[in-house]
Structure 1
Amino acid sequence: MKKFLIGITLISMTLAGAAFFYISQHGLDIRVQNETNKEIAGLYVTYNHIKKDIKIPPVSAKSSYKFHVDPVKNSTADFNEGALNIQYKDSKGNVHSETVIGYFERSYSGDAVFKIKSVDKDGVLAVKTNERVSLY
């Protein structure tokens, strides 16, 4: 009987640990890394069927800002799959869109780094993105 209770306890703890790991891994962690000598403002995250675009606060020179996107909470019921983009307007009012994560679904998890390498005189960003996304 004692071995049975120990076995049940170990199985329960394993399942609880797996559930915690799954819940904590849900969604997308995004880091905007400003490698320029200027503050970058006016960025926002969007994707198809997002309830509301996510505004990114100004990112100071040589610093970064990290945030979490939860596709379950941030998406409408129509969302199944999409690409996550960061958009901004240049000094002429033209909208630019940079892909941060090329493909994800509601249940995906992962992370991405959006590096801002430079800004030209018109406010157009030169960027580099690294992403790592998985089904689990």
Structure 2
Amino acid sequence: MKKLICLLLCLSFVLPSAAFAQEDDLIKSTQNDLILIGAAGAGGAILGLSTLSFVDKPSQHVSNIWTGAAIGVILGVIWVAYDSVQRNQDDLTSSVDFNSSERVAWHAENTGNLTLPQVQYGTQFWQMTF
């Protein structure tokens, strides 16, 4: 647990020092994502620690803490990945300026530029040309 806290503190000091980068939003977003993953891991470790009160010999079940922390980190990574995809969803959706009819017209104009070489497949008895 102490190692995890030390790692998070070190990362919080290291990441802001990289402010010379061109995109501060990316750095801030990455820092927030790492903090979220660390917090999820810490939350999982706390939940794993809470399970020790329900067993007869808690010293034999200390691995519950590490298991909870691992599950928390995995769920944190899944959440960050999902959030990252949702954040960039606006870039993937079509804009009003380039609607379907304009796309069809663009494809009609530019399909003549594509040239595909002929490919032959087959053996002595069977030939196929694409």
**TM-score, with length taken from structure 1:** 0.26
Task: Looking at secondary structure, tell me which structure has more strand per residue.
Answer: 1
Task: Looking at secondary structure, tell me which structure has more helix per residue.
Answer: 2
Q: Which has the higher contact order (CA 8 A, sep 6+)?
A: 1
Q: Which has the larger radius of gyration?
A: 2
